[in-house]
Amino acid sequence: MPRQTLKKRPDGRYVCTYHGKFFYGYTQAEALAARDAYKRDDEAGLHSDKRNTIGGYASYWLPIYRAQASTAAYRQYAGMLNAFTEFLGASTPLGKITKSDVAAYYATLAEMSKSYIDKAKSLIRSMLSDAVSDGLIRSNPALTAKPPSGTEGTHRRLEDWEIALVHQMVGHRFGVAAMLMLYAGLRRGEVLAFDIDRDVDFERGRIYVREAVSFSDGCRGKKKNPKTEAGVREIPLFNPLREVLQGRHGLAAASVSGSQMTLSAFDRAWESYLSKMGDLHNGFSRRWANGRTWVPMNIRTNDFRHTFCSMCCDAYVPIEVLMLWMGHSDEKMIRRIYDHITNKRKGEAIQKAAEKVEIQAQLVKSIVNLSGSDRNPL
C-alpha cells in the first residue's frame, strides 16, 4: 500500500484526519503516528466511554468510593477531587493527563499540611489506578509524580487581640463553645456534646469530657466516645471559663431550638460567629463596607485548641499532664509546640542579651571618652 501523502499547512505542520478528528505533526510521520495511536485506542473502546474525561470519571468513581468512606471523609475527598478536576479542566481526556500535569497540581498544595497532601496523593493515585483497571487509560500518570512535603501543621496560636474578641463574643450562640475550646482545649465534637449541668463541677473546679458528637455516619451526628481512649478526661476549670459557665445550663453549643446541632447548623453558627467577630473588629458590617477595607477573621476551630495547648506550654505544664488535659495518647504534637516555644524563647533571650551587651558596651565607651581623653595609657 503506497504511503499516504499529507497536506502541509501554512504553519509548517502536516495534518490528517480520522472520523472527523484532526491530527497534526511537523513531519508526516508524527501526524500519522498521532492518528494511529488514537485509532488504536478507539478500536479498543477507549473513546466511546463517557467516563474518558477526568470530570466524567471522577463523577463515576466518587459515588463508588462513597461506600468505603465515612461522611466526613467523603466530603473532604469530594472537595479534593473537585479541586483536581477543576485544575486540569473537567473535559480533559484521561489519556491526555501526564505526570507533569499531576505534578503541577501537586505544586499548588505546597502550603497545605502534610496530612492533607498525603490524602490527596492517595486519592488521585487510587482513582487513576482504577481508571487503568477499567481499561480507560494504559498507565497511571500519578504513580511517579512527587508531591511537596507540605507543612507539619497549619494550626496557629491566636493573637492577643483575637483572644480579646473571643471574650467579647461570649453572647453569641457559639460564644460559650469558643471559650471551651480556648480555655479547655476541647475538640469540635466534644464541645457539641458538652452539657454544662452534667460536665462541670464548680466545687472541685473541674470539667469532664465524656463523649463527643461524630458526623462520620451522617449530617445529624451521633454521640460517641471521644476520638481516643485518652479523650475521656478531666480538665481544670480555669477562672475565665468558670465566669462564663456560671449560671448557664444545658448544651454549651445548641441549635436555635436548644437541641444538639447538626453539621449544617454548626457550619452556619460558625460562619455567623466569624462574621460578627469581623464586624466587631472592623467597627462596621462587611455589608456596609462601601469600599472600606474589611479585615476578615482567618480563624479555624482547631486554632482555639492549639492556643490552649500553647498557653499551657508557656506556663511549663509538664508534657505528661498536658497530654491528659488535651486527650492525647501521643506526645508528638505537644512536643512540637513545646519545641517551637522553646526556640522562640531562645531567640528572645538572644535578642535581650544582645541589647544588654550593647547597652553595657555603650556605657563603657562613654566612661572611656569622659575619663580617658586626656590620659595616655602608655
- The pLDDT tens digits of the residues spanning 131-161 come to 999 888 889 999 999 998 876 555 788 999 9
Which grid cell sits at 345? 524563647
Print the domain residue range for 280.
160-326
d(C-alpha 261, C-alpha 245), whole Å: 19
CB-based burial label for 219 (10 Å; 0-12, 13-18, 19+):
middle
Examine the domain organization and report whether 33 and 63 are in the same domain: no
Examine the domain organization and report whether 175 and 240 are in the same domain: yes
Examine the domain organization and report whether 184 and 261 are in the same domain: yes
Residue 1 lies in a domain: no
Residue 218 sits in a domain whose CATH number is 1.10.443.10
Examine the domain organization and report whether 220 and 302 are in the same domain: yes
Tell me the HSE value of 32 on the side-chain side, using a 13 A CA sphere: 8
Examine the domain organization and report whether 317 and 182 are in the same domain: yes
pLDDT at 1: 40
Residue 155 lies in a domain: no
Residue 96 lies in a domain: yes
Examine the domain organization and report whether 315 and 339 are in the same domain: no
152 in Cβ contact with 158 (< 8 Å): no
Examine the domain organization and report whether 93 and 112 are in the same domain: yes
d(C-alpha 218, C-alpha 263), whole Å: 8
Helix and strand numbers (H, E) in the chain are 14, 8
Residue 58 sits in a domain whose CATH number is 1.10.150
pLDDT at 171: 93
Examine the domain organization and report whether 186 and 285 are in the same domain: yes
Residue 378 lies in a domain: no
Examine the domain organization and report whether 65 and 97 are in the same domain: yes
Regions of the chain where pLDDT drops below 50: 1-2, 378
Residue 375 lies in a domain: no
Overall domain count for the chain: 4
Residue 13 lies in a domain: yes
Examine the domain organization and report whether 114 and 201 are in the same domain: no
pLDDT at 372: 58
Examine the domain organization and report whether 184 and 256 are in the same domain: yes
pLDDT at 320: 87
Residue 77 lies in a domain: yes
Examine the domain organization and report whether 256 and 347 are in the same domain: no
pTM of the model: 0.56
Residue 11 lies in a domain: yes
pLDDT at 2: 47
| H, E, C per residue of 280-297 | HHHCCCHHHCCCCCCCCC
Closest to 226 in 3D by CA, of 113, 325, 334: 325
